[in-house]
A = this chain, B = another copy of it.
Amino acid sequence: MANTNENLNVTEQLENDIADVQFLAEQLLPFRHDIQAEANHQFSLPEPRIHAQLQMLMGIIQELHPADMAAVLENLPPKERELVWLLATPEDDGDVLLEVSDTVRESLIEHMDTQELVAAVENLDVDELAELADTLPENVVAEVMKDLNEEERAQVQAAMSYQDEQVGAVMDFEIVSVRADVSCEVVLRYLRRFDSLPNHTDKIFVVDENDILQGVLPIRKLLVAAPEELVENVMAKEVVQFSPLDDVADAAAAFERYDLVTAPVVDENRKLIARLTVDEMVDVIREETEADMLNMAGLQEDEDLFAPVWDSVKNRWVWLAINLFTAFVASRVIGFFEDSISQIVALAALMPIVAGIGGNSGNQTITMIVRALANSQISKSQAIRLLKKELGVALVNGIIWGSAMGLVAWLLYGSLGIGLVMVAAMTLNLLLAAVLGVMIPVTMERFGKDPALGSSVMITAVTDSGGFLIFLGLATVFLL
């Protein structure tokens, strides 16, 4: 259990820490009541071995960066998580709460009393406080708000008034601004008066006397500029800027396109009110892409890996129910052809192949379109072009794979008719999958819905019912 090893990179180090904490927490679990009882953290545990393990665990925890502590907590089952959280450094509690996922945060807050919570969050920045406020008990928020000054209170309330997917909800208020008509030397002297500059400061905002944004002064230009040069001659006037009402995913995409580290947020009069930083945008990018992936499979946005069974059932039941309903429809389609099946029982064995290839191919198409929609926009003329292309792919696949399976069916059941029906049904179902693989997400997007949401369940529903209908229908018409 090497704690700090010079030869490990940061990832290996974190993996080691997680594994060590997992192991130690599991060992200490039987003693958790003893540990909880010792409020002053002066533990005296019965066995020396257990006591040593507790010391080791505390040693690891105290060394952890808040983000690493968050990763450790995410990877612990509920009881172990509670134990480790009890041993965490109280000063870091607020930062850890900011880093963990929503569901894990709830489980942590559950085990903290008002006093602990106030202590954890009272030193956070206002934007961080606003981020947590929704999940905190009301009396904790009230308590902390009391200690803020007028301006800070207004900022917290402003940040809380925006939707989660708006820039306003993730912007921060630590802005450094200067006037355009001062020299670079004056700026440098002004900056030196700060105890420290805000994180990620890569540019100083330039405003006029009414705080209207005039431009930005990149630090990397300030540092090489002649001291007597005026800010207005060094600053960039074309600035990528955001409104608090902008979509946060759009802002993240802009950070990605233009390689930004920070960017100003201005109100409708171009008055500077806050800034966005790349660390928040990175989180947005990961969350957006992951949400697409989860949504396609019919899961809600996040599920604590160790959530109680019942929470998981609730998270997943909607799409399971929809799937069950569509499967029932498919079943009734088959039921309609029971006569045909009782005459040619081979149909029952072959029909899932037709449905299956349609589902698989449709999922490939829909995944591609969902990704394309997330990264750009697809205009109407393009949708038609994409549809044509997908139909082409479906036709080629239908002819190749349909012929292959048709041949197999012919050989297996000694009926050329069954083979030909197989070729036709597979090709038609692949074409159906192509049409709906493009139409479903494009239509969802056009009506302002998330194109990823349950798209996999929907396409499978269509290719199942459709596949059965096409195959059994063709067989009934041509073989009976």
> A19 vs B283: C-alpha distance in the bound complex, in angstroms?
29
Q: Whole-angstrom distance between the alpha carbons of A289 and B288 in the complex?
A: 10
Is A188 interfacial (CB 8 A cutoff)?
A: yes
Interface of chain A: mostly helix, strand, loop or mixed: helix
| In contact, A223 and B296 (Cβ under 8 angstroms) | no
Contact B349 A338 (CB under 8 A): yes
Q: Is B299 a contact of A19 with CB atoms below 8 Å?
A: no
Q: Which of A357-391 touch B at CB < 8 Å?
A: 357, 359-361, 363-364, 366-368, 371-372, 375-379, 381-382, 385-386, 389
Measured in the bound complex, the distance between the Cα atoms of B367 and A350 in whole Å is: 29
Give the interface segment out of A39-47, A116-124, A148-156, A246-254: A246-254
- Closest CB in chain B relative to A365 CB, distance in Å: 9
Docked-complex contact A324 and B405, CB < 8 angstroms: yes
A361 and B315 alpha carbons, distance in the complex (Å)? 12
Contact check, A320 vs B18: say whether CB atoms are below 8 A apart. no
Interface segment out of the listed A133-141, A158-166, A196-204? A196-204
Query: B360–A320 contact, CB under 8 A?
Result: yes
A11 touching B254, Cβ below 8 Å: yes
CA distance A307 to B428 in the complex (A): 23
> Which residues in B have their C-beta under 8 angstroms from that of A473?
none
B306 touches A385 (CB 8 A): yes
Contact of B353 with A352 in the complex, beta carbons under 8 Å: no
> Nearest B residue to A412 by beta-carbon distance?
B335
In this complex, the member of A197, A305, A313, A397 whose beta carbon has the largest number of chain B beta carbons within 10 angstroms is: A305
Bound complex: CA A286 to CA B200 (Å):
21
User: A224-B197, A261-B261 in contact; A338/B331 too (CB < 8 A)?
Assistant: no
Interface residues of A in 271-330 (CB under 8 A from B): 278-279, 281-283, 285-286, 289-290, 292-294, 296-299, 303, 305-307, 309-310, 312-313, 316-317, 319-321, 323-324, 326-328, 330
Closest Cβ of chain B to A128, distance in Å, is 13
Cβ of A145 under 8 Å from chain B: no
Nearest CB in chain B: distance from A69 CB, A: 10
A147 within 8 A of B: no
Rounded to whole angstroms, the CA-CA distance of A353 and B404 in the bound complex is: 27
Q: Which residues of B contact A9 (CB under 8 A)?
A: 242-243, 246, 250
Instruction: Tell me which residues across on chain B come within 8 A of A52, comparing CB atoms.
Output: none
Interchain nearest-CB distance for A223 vs B (Å): 5
Q: Interface-forming stretch among A84-92, A205-213, A339-347, A442-450?
A: A339-347
Residues 16-42 of chain A, each 1 if its beta carbon lies under 8 Å from chain B, else 0: 001100100010000000000000000
CB distance from A245 to the nearest CB of B (A): 9
- A371: which B residues are within 8 A, CB to CB? 290, 293-294
Proximity string of chain A (235-272) to chain B, C-beta cutoff 8 Å, 1 when within and 0 when not: 00000101100110011011111110100000000000
| 14 chain-A/chain-B pairs, Cβ below 8 angstroms | A10-B240, A14-B257, A22-B381, A74-B375, A192-B226, A199-B259, A219-B223, A296-B367, A298-B364, A312-B389, A319-B364, A332-B349, A356-B464, A360-B457
The 10 closest A-B pairs by CB, nearest first: A11-B250, A289-B289, A197-B220, A309-B392, A327-B356, A297-B367, A67-B257, A259-B279, A348-B348, A334-B349
A188-B188, A285-B285, A306-B385 given. 15 additional CB < 8 A pairs?
A18-B377, A71-B376, A192-B225, A194-B223, A199-B259, A294-B367, A296-B367, A309-B389, A309-B396, A312-B393, A320-B361, A326-B356, A331-B349, A335-B349, A348-B348
